[in-house]
Structure 1
Amino acid sequence: MTASILGKPKFCEGQIVEFVGGEGIIKNYRFEPSSWLYLVEMPIATDPEMDRVGYETMIWLAEGDIFPLGNNFSHKVLSREQKNFARAC
């Protein structure tokens, strides 16, 4: 029997992050063998080119694939709910 050590996650719920292909807000996370996975919700623009609703706006990403976003995100498109949730982190 082997013991595994569970390390602390680098990101928290509500934190705004970026990744190759976009940026989003951490909605959830879970530990998988040897890595943390994060459910990232991508913000929806006010007039998207294609309608996006539901789960296609979220993606599971490994911890190594995402990076914290700097404090200057006033130009980003976030809904009121997403902005309030992001401030709580």
Structure 2
Amino acid sequence: MSTWLTSGARPAAALLAGALGTWVGVRPALTAGALLLLIPLVVLARSPIRALRQMPDPPADSLSTPHANQTSPPALPSPTRTDDARHERALGGDAS
């Protein structure tokens, strides 16, 4: 979902950046863009994430779901000939 949001926002951001660069000039538009990049830093600095020292425990409902790695791997077919039989055939021996 986040990839879709960031990928979808890029064309709109490019249009807005081009319009801002045309309207106020390139240097002020770049300065505004650099200042806008500080917004996530301020949000994270003021959030409770900064005080975390370890990962929180997962919710209890996610523990009841079955894990995908509990199933056995698929059976592999056995080879029809051994490596020795192929080697003997390559050397001109009997192909039994």
Q: Same fold (TM over 0.5)?
A: no
TM-score (norm 1): 0.19
Greater strand percent: which structure?
Answer: 1
**Larger Rg over CA atoms:** 2
- With CA pairs under 8 Å and 6+ residues apart, which has the higher RCO, 1 or 2? 1
Greater helix percent: which structure?
Answer: 2
